Amino acid sequence: MMYCHPYFSLDTSDPHSLLDAILHSHCMPHRCPDALAIDDRPVMPIPDNWREIASKPRRATYAEWVRDNVVVSSRVRVDTLLLPWDHAEPFAQVPLKEIIAMLRKGPDMYGFALDFEGYSEYQFGNHKIGWCLVLKGKCVETNLLSPRILDYGPWLVRTYDDLVVVFFHELDVDLATKAAQARAAQAGMFGPEGSFVGGFPVYDLPPGATYVPAERRLEVPVYGRQVPPLEMRHARWIVLNQGLGPSRPLERVTYSFADPAEVGPHLHQMWLRGIEVVTFIDGYRTVLTDHYDPPPPPPPPEWVERLRARLEAEGL
């Protein structure tokens, strides 16, 4: 049976439901916490029904278990964070099945496992990214440039109902192996040209972009230039985060190529990111992405098939 540290940073629009799923999961210590605070006010003594009190709609909940080395912290519109109290004494690992069960019971959310072993090159905010990214419900659509990307990256994707778990490395290998396996996968998801858009801080409007109000569309003309991946990321971010403001709602972004010969590899890269591609064939405006037949995904790294086989053997 595979075990993992259940340390996560998770973001959700329903933090109280997420907190309830965490506090009632088998990933948590079963005894009362050593300290409990609700809205920054200590709760003393801690009652037996502390879980129900802590997960009711409030502004903030904080609980810590000193001996078990666990802290749970929740704040509305920020995140729910499960993390170790001290890096030197990690919380005991729990079966992966229990972690998946906890995440499946939560509301729509996105987040990632935390790396406290020091092998990861990528971080989000103040936390280094560990063995997986999790996306639940609508967050699969809103926190990736496009769900299509999941099929084309150097990672392993497992789906449990509406929960998607993207594994970045094998779980029971040494740190050097974790680092080597995670490097390409995490770069493809969280690097400058990566696929993950949660919390993407700023964007640049593509050159020549025009808002088409009747179609709620951003149109970008292309002639005589290559479109870099970072520009594609910015363009898609604008749509996903309604970057033009409430008075100019967006449903899609279109790149319009004046010369069909310049489309080339742009077609696959834009299709992969959920961007519409248009050009003019025999004088007619043609949406190339509507009938695009993509190539099969590239072969995955060797570790992906090993981990897939192990998960399947454990019913995961």
48 domain-assigned: yes
289 domain-assigned: no
Give the residue numbers spanning the domain of 225. 210-281
Bridge partners for 276 per DSSP: 254
pLDDT at position 109: 93
H or E element at residue 278: strand 276-281
288 domain-assigned: no
- Are residue 146 and residue 218 in the same domain, yes or no? no
- Are residue 186 and residue 71 in the same domain, yes or no? yes
pLDDT at position 199: 61
- Are residue 185 and residue 232 in the same domain, yes or no? no
- Are residue 183 and residue 230 in the same domain, yes or no? no
For 226, residues 6+ apart whose C-beta sits below 8 A from its C-beta are 266
- Are residue 232 and residue 96 in the same domain, yes or no? no
From residue 240, give the alpha-carbon distance in Å to each of 19, 61, 90, 220.
26, 30, 37, 16
286 domain-assigned: no
Tell me what percent of the residues of the chain surpass a pLDDT of 70: 94
Residue 145 and residue 240: Cα distance in Å, rounded?
Answer: 8
Residue type (1 letter), 227: V
200 domain-assigned: no
Rounded to the nearest 5°, which phi and psi values hold at 93?
A: -70, 155
Domain count within the chain = 2
- Helix 15-23, helix 96-105: angle, nearest 10: 150
**Strands 109-114 vs 8-12: parallel, antiparallel or unpaired:** antiparallel
- Are residue 107 and residue 21 in the same domain, yes or no? yes
Q: What is the pTM of this model?
A: 0.90
pLDDT at position 302: 96
pLDDT at position 216: 96
251 domain-assigned: yes
291 domain-assigned: no
39 domain-assigned: yes
- Are residue 169 and residue 121 in the same domain, yes or no? yes
Q: Which long-range contacts (CB under 8 A, 24 or more apart) does 118-121 make?
A: 118/175, 119/175, 119/176, 119/178, 119/179, 119/182, 120/179, 120/182, 120/186, 121/179, 121/182, 121/183, 121/186, 121/187
Task: Identify which of 163, 161, 181 has the alpha carbon closest to the alpha carbon of residue 171.
Answer: 181
pLDDT at position 165: 98
Q: What is the pLDDT along the chain (316 residues), one digit of tens a residue?
A: 888 888 898 988 888 888 889 888 888 888 889 999 988 899 999 998 888 888 777 778 888 888 878 888 887 555 567 777 665 566 668 899 999 999 999 999 999 999 988 899 998 877 889 999 999 999 999 999 999 999 999 999 999 999 999 999 999 999 999 999 999 999 999 988 889 986 655 677 899 999 999 999 999 999 999 999 989 999 999 999 898 999 999 999 999 999 999 999 999 999 999 999 999 998 899 999 999 999 999 999 999 999 999 999 999 9
What is the distance, to the nearest Å, from the Cα of residue 25 to the centroid of all Cα atoms in its chain? 21
Is residue 116 within 8 A of residue 48, CB to CB? The reply is no
- Are residue 99 and residue 30 in the same domain, yes or no? yes
Structure tokens at 211: 């808002």
pLDDT at position 88: 54
pLDDT at position 204: 79
H or E element at residue 272: helix 266-272
pLDDT at position 77: 53
Structure tokens at 26: 């088998």
Residue type (1 letter), 311: L
- Are residue 247 and residue 110 in the same domain, yes or no? no
- Are residue 26 and residue 118 in the same domain, yes or no? yes
Residue labelled with tokens 């329903």: 14
Residue 48 and residue 202: Cα distance in Å, rounded?
Answer: 46
Is residue 7 within 8 A of residue 84, CB to CB? The reply is yes
**Strands 163-167 vs 156-160: parallel, antiparallel or unpaired:** antiparallel
- Are residue 257 and residue 158 in the same domain, yes or no? no
What count of other Cβ atoms lies within 10 Å of the Cβ of residue 195? 24
Residue 264 and residue 226: Cα distance in Å, rounded?
Answer: 10
pLDDT at position 79: 59
- Are residue 227 and residue 107 in the same domain, yes or no? no
**Strands 127-136 vs 123-124: parallel, antiparallel or unpaired:** antiparallel
Residue 133 and residue 294: Cα distance in Å, rounded?
Answer: 25
Structure tokens at 74: 């929740």
